[in-house]
């Protein structure tokens, strides 16, 4: 029996971009009261984000006073074509037909509808009526990694291709200026963006083989990161203490992951770290003893695309594999509610293109 699954294809899709300065000047400078404006401007400037993308741009329409019902109806309009584009690109990259898939998994914490993306895209893309489907919600920024692990387990157990789609529309959850315009909301408004990324896993062939998945959750800090469903969309809670929690756990997580394979940090030439923000990347770099080049892809994704929640770590992986000399071994790290840390170890099965 085959004991590994390989990432044979990856595809991404992005809504139209906007510059961080343009977003500030064109919307957010007026969104906050005079009391909050100077603080908010500093946070936007120091976010590490230079451009980001929004399916629902505040430069074109202000959704901050929309009800959750209005936001979820718009989610259905925007998420389907975005997810379809990412999936089609991943299937083409892997040279796999939609009707060959045995499992279609979707991760999303920013929108809910039934029938969902798993049903609608399976129909529109011509997947088999017998394709198995899985929807993963409310895992937040780390969802891609347990999603990868689950899809890989299916491939190993069934010997059939699987597809994972991570699609997030954080722009739908812009909060009104009159409701909790505290530090956590300002940080959220400065960082988050929209994207979709899809991955095809197969039993064999060229690509990155998924060797292992590990996780640790510190439930004593469960209140440090929250995602509350309110009458005015979903509201982010993001404690400034999150980096300190990662500081306690990330080195042990990585050592455990690599130690199971007789490897050390020096054996890894590719790091796909979820860029939750500049401080998150600073902590990971310091705790793992990495040089600036090791996290260049993560910082580049944060600068160019912002924090897109679950697809973001896949955008970093795509950047790594697109290099003229792709890394042989990649560690992916992502963090989210729980507080939860996830890690995966990938190894090139052949020279990747």
Flag whether 281 is in a domain.
yes
Q: Is the pLDDT of residue 349 over 50?
A: yes
* Residue in 107, 108, 109, 141 annotated catalytic: 141
Task: Report helix, strand or coil for 348.
Answer: strand
The total domain count for the chain is: 2
Q: What confidence category does residue 2 fall into, taking pLDDT thresholds of 50, 70 and 90?
A: low
Q: What confidence category does residue 301 fall into, taking pLDDT thresholds of 50, 70 and 90?
A: very high
The parent domain of residue 225 ranges over 208-348
Q: Are residues 139 and 286 in the same domain?
A: no
Instruction: Choose among 36, 121, 111: nearest CA to 71.
Output: 111
Q: Which two tokens stand for residue 239?
A: 């404690």
Q: According to DSSP H, which parts of 160-295 are helical? A: 183-191, 242-259, 278-288
Q: Are residues 38 and 178 in the same domain?
A: yes
Give the number of C-alpha atoms closer than 13 A to the C-alpha of residue 297, restricted to the C-beta side.
Answer: 26
Phi, psi of 264 (to 5 degrees): -125, 175
Q: What confidence category does residue 3 fall into, taking pLDDT thresholds of 50, 70 and 90?
A: confident
- pLDDT of 12-37, one tens digit each? 999 999 999 999 999 999 998 888 89
Q: Are residues 220 and 290 in the same domain?
A: yes
Task: Examine the residue annotation and report whether 141 is marked as an active-site residue of this protein.
Answer: yes
Q: Are residues 215 and 196 in the same domain?
A: no
Q: Are residues 188 and 70 in the same domain?
A: yes
- pLDDT of 229-284, one tens digit each? 999 999 999 889 999 999 999 999 999 999 999 999 999 999 999 999 999 999 99
How is 228-246 classified by DSSP, letter by letter? EEETTEEEEEE-TTHHHHH
Distance separating alpha carbons of residues 329 and 42, to the nearest angstrom: 37
Q: What is the pLDDT of residue 178?
A: 65
Flag whether 311 is in a domain.
yes
User: How large is the C-alpha radius of gyration of the chain?
Assistant: 19
Q: Is the pLDDT of residue 351 over 60?
A: no
In this structure, the dihedral spanned by the alpha carbons of residues 91, 57, 110 and 9, taken in order and rounded to 10 degrees, is 10
Q: Are residues 23 and 78 in the same domain?
A: yes
Q: What is the pLDDT of residue 338?
A: 93
Q: Are residues 257 and 312 in the same domain?
A: yes
Q: Is the pLDDT of residue 350 over 80?
A: no
Q: Are residues 26 and 132 in the same domain?
A: yes
- Counting beta carbons within 10 angstroms of the beta carbon of residue 129, is it exposed (0 to 12), middle (13 to 18) or buried (19 or more)? exposed
Which CA distances in Å does 177 have to 21, 49, 185, 262? 19, 21, 9, 52
| Helix (H) or strand (E) segment spanning residue 169 | strand 162-169
- Sign for the CA dihedral angle at 109, 110, 116, 121 comes to negative
Q: Are residues 32 and 166 in the same domain?
A: yes
Task: Report helix, strand or coil for 185.
Answer: helix
Q: Are residues 177 and 223 in the same domain?
A: no
Q: Are residues 38 and 128 in the same domain?
A: yes
Distance separating alpha carbons of residues 185 and 194, to the nearest angstrom: 17
Instruction: Choose among 317, 268, 325, 327: nearest CA to 297.
Output: 317
- pLDDT of 107-124, one tens digit each? 999 999 999 999 999 999
Which residue carries 């209005």 as its tokens? 70
Residue 312, domain CATH? 3.40.47.10
Q: What confidence category does residue 177 fall into, taking pLDDT thresholds of 50, 70 and 90?
A: confident
Distance separating alpha carbons of residues 22 and 246, to the nearest angstrom: 32
- pLDDT of 183-228, one tens digit each? 888 999 999 999 999 999 999 889 999 999 999 999 999 999 999 9
Q: What is the pLDDT of residue 353?
A: 40
Flag whether 353 is in a domain.
no
Q: Are residues 185 and 58 in the same domain?
A: yes
Q: Which residues pair with 10 in a beta bridge?
A: 199
């Amino acid at each position: 029996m085959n004991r590994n699954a390989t990432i044979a294809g990856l595809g991404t899709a992005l809504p139209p971009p906007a510059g961080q300065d343009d977003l500030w000047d064109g919307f957010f400078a007026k969104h906050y009261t005079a009391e909050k404006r100077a603080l908010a401007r500093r946070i936007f400037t120091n976010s590490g984000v230079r451009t980001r993308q929004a399916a629902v741009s505040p430069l074109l329409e202000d959704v901050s006073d929309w009800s959750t019902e209005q936001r979820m109806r718009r989610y259905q309009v925007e998420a389907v074509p975005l997810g379809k584009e990412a999936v089609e690109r991943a299937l083409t990259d892997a040279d796999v037909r939609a009707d060959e898939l045995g499992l279609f998994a979707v991760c999303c914490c920013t929108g809910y509808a039934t029938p969902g993306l798993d049903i609608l895209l399976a129909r529109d893309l011509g997947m088999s009526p017998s394709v198995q489907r899985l929807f993963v919600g409310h895992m937040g920024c780390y969802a891609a990694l347990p999603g990868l692990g689950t899809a890989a387990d299916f491939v190993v157990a069934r010997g059939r291709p699987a597809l994972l789609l991570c699609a997030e529309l954080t722009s739908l959850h812009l909060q009104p200026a009159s409701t909790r315009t505290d530090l956590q909301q300002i940080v959220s408004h400065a960082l988050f963006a929209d994207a979709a990324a899809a991955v095809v896993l197969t039993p064999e062939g060229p690509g990155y083989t998924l060797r292992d998945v590990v996780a640790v959750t510190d439930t004593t800090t469960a209140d440090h990161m929250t995602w509350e469903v309110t009458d005015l969309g979903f509201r982010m809670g993001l404690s400034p203490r999150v980096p300190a929690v990662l500081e306690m756990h990330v080195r042990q997580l990585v050592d455990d992951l690599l130690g199971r394979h007789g490897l050390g940090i020096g054996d890894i030439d590719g790091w796909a770290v979820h860029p939750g923000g500049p401080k998150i990347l600073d902590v990971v770099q310091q705790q793992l003893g990495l040089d600036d080049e090791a996290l260049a892809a993560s910082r580049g994704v944060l600068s160019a695309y912002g924090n897109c929640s679950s697809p973001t770590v896949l955008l970093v992986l795509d950047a790594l594999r697109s290099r003229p000399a792709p890394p042989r071994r990649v560690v992916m790290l992502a963090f989210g509610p729980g507080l939860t840390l996830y890690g995966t170890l990938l190894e090139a099965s052949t020279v990747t293109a």
